[in-house]
């Protein structure tokens, strides 16, 4: 029997937090975000008058080479102690404006902290009870992109054997 996961335990899962953010950067929940222009503006060479409705392809922002170091690469370290690294200068400069996992400003998600706690609890609970390994790190992903993306033949999951004292 293992002890219950506490809030302090969850707060210490900084790398787990970074993995969740990197997964979300690659596969955001909302890949298009709608907005209304509050004032006349020129965006990307297009004139928008106040009140214009437009869509932003948020998933493209999360892969921009001028905002992310190696944007196509899956690298949780870009969210993990980046202040200590010289590698992630783009992230240090742009992360606040280019990565808004739960929205930003008055439209941000009121349940964002609870969602992160739940995700970290879920991952911690899985890894406590199961050994999770990649089947073949060098094999190409067998990814199917539909409304819900799936990946077949990716992981080997085996229950952990608890040793009695």
Chain centroid to CA 150: 16
Element (H, E) at 57: strand 53-57
| Residue pLDDT, tens place only, 74-95 | 889 988 877 777 788 888 777 7
The C-alpha angle 70, 76, 77, rounded to 5 degrees, equals 80
pTM above 0.95, yes or no: no
The partner residues of 131 in beta bridges, in order of sequence, read: 158
| pLDDT classification of 15: cutoffs 50, 70, 90 | very high
Q: What is the pLDDT of residues 111-152, one digit of tens each?
A: 888 999 999 999 998 988 899 888 887 877 777 777 777 777
Q: How far is it, in rounded angstroms, from Cα 122 to Cα 136?
A: 24
């Amino acid at each position: 029997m293992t002890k219950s996961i506490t809030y302090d335990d969850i707060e210490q899962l900084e790398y787990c937090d970074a993995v969740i953010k990197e997964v979300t950067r690659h596969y955001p929940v909302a890949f298009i975000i709608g907005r209304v222009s509050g004032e006349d503006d020129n965006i990307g060479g297009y004139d928008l008058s106040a009140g214009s409705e437009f869509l932003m392809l948020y998933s493209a922002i999360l892969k921009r080479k001028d905002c992310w170091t190696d944007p196509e690469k899956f690298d949780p370290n870009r969210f993990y102690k980046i202040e200590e690294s010289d590698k992630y200068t783009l992230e240090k400069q742009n992360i606040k404006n280019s990565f808004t996992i739960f929205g930003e400003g008055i439209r941000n998600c009121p349940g964002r902290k609870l969602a992160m706690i739940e995700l970290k609890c879920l991952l911690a609970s899985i890894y406590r009870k199961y050994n999770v390994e990649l089947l073949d790190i060098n094999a190409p992903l067998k990814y199917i992109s539909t409304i819900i993306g799936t990946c077949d033949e990716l992981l080997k999951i085996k229950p952990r054997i608890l040793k009695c004292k």
